[in-house]
Amino acid sequence: MVNQPVPRSVFIAVHPFVHQAAVEARDVVQMLQDGGLHVVSGTFDDEAMRARVRAREFDMVVVMGGDGTMLRAGHLCAPLDIPVLGINMGHFGFLYELQRADWMNSLPLLLQGDYWLERRMMMRAAFCRGASTLGQWEVLNDVVVCRGQYVRPVQLRAFVNGGLFASYVADGLIASTATGSTAYALAAGGPILPPDLRNILMVPVAPHLSVDRAVVLAEGAAVTIEVVSANQAVLSVDGQPPIVLDNGDRVEVTSSAHSLPLVRFQDPGYFYRNLTSHMEQNPLFGASK
């Protein structure tokens, strides 16, 4: 493993509603400052802090939160090619490199440049109505077009590289990265893809008399999902609040020119090694008790 540059300036992004994250962040800040780094802590809710990240004031972001906080880091940091190190303070933490008990032993490696960068593919999603583009996003996990508040299936057409691929009557259709293959796509019955793949995965949700198999598209393929349903359909990007779609609206998904560099201390075989522990013990089961 070739040593990486030691960061000089680091932003610690803390989940604003997890008390333990704020408490442990103080210790992380202290350790990195003792190592000679310039360190600032805050939250992604602070627009001034996001502006400082966009201005490239920091050459690394350390995330202390759950999966949602990491997704926000990906949206912000991938277009800037800023490496992200995750310290899991939530439940699953598929994207996180470190757990709460690990960071004290691993951060000294960061100060020695003893880490590697794993580049995760991002997707580019566009919401189109007629000739107008009403929204665009960088996506780390998935793009979902699905039924709205009423329990009625929606009718969707999926096009691949401009040609009709399939028509669906279903609760929804997921377009996912390899990273997102362990999220909603997995719950909908899709395959688990290795994180270094740059393919788009399409997974129908509860299809009725429609194509019921997930499909892994060739690298570089482009997907368009068109709503052809009178029933309400909505769009959700990486779990963000839904956007109501009209009949005829389109969602266009391609691989992004950007990727998210994640800081890794484990060897590249970590994904398969950790997968079993994630799959065999769901930390959300009974969490509400």
Which pTM was predicted? Answer: 0.92
Task: Give the mean model confidence (pLDDT) for residues 26-48.
Answer: 96
**How many Cα atoms within 13 Å fall on the side-chain side of residue 269?**
1
- Asked if the model's pLDDT at residue 286 lies above 60, the reply is no
Determine the pLDDT at residue 273: 82
Determine the pLDDT at residue 31: 96
Phi-psi region of 133 (alpha: psi -120 to 50; beta: other; left: phi over 0): beta
* 34, 45, 46, 67: the active-site residue: 67
Determine the pLDDT at residue 230: 85
Q: Would you state the structure tokens that stand for residue 35, as one six-digit string?
A: 């190592």
Determine the pLDDT at residue 283: 55
Rounded distance, CA 176 to CA 257, Å?
16
- Asked if the model's pLDDT at residue 41 lies above 50, the reply is yes
Determine the pLDDT at residue 288: 45
| Alpha carbon separation from 200 to 145, 150, 274 (Å, rounded) | 15, 28, 23
Rounded distance, CA 255 to CA 133, Å?
17
Determine the pLDDT at residue 90: 74
64: closest CA among 94, 101, 98, 35? 98
Determine contact, residues 21/14, Cβ cutoff 8 Å.
yes
Task: Mark whether 238 is an active-site residue.
Answer: no
Determine the pLDDT at residue 114: 96
Task: Give the mean model confidence (pLDDT) for residues 261-272.
Answer: 91
For the chain, list the domains and their CATH numbers: 9-115+265-280 (3.40.50.10330), 122-257 (2.60.200.30)
Q: Would you state the structure tokens that stand for residue 115, as one six-digit string?
A: 């880490």
Determine contact, residues 71/239, Cβ cutoff 8 Å.
yes
CB-based burial, 100-113: b 16+ in 10 Å, e otherwise = eeebeebbeebeee
Determine the pLDDT at residue 284: 58
Give the model confidence (pLDDT) of 177-217 as tens digits: 999 999 999 999 999 999 999 999 999 999 999 999 999 99
Give the model confidence (pLDDT) of 142-178 as tens digits: 999 999 988 999 999 999 999 999 999 999 999 999 9
In sequence order, the β-bridge partners of residue 233 are 147, 245
Tokens 């992380």 belong to residue: 28
Q: Would you state the structure tokens that stand for residue 60, as one six-digit string?
A: 């690394």
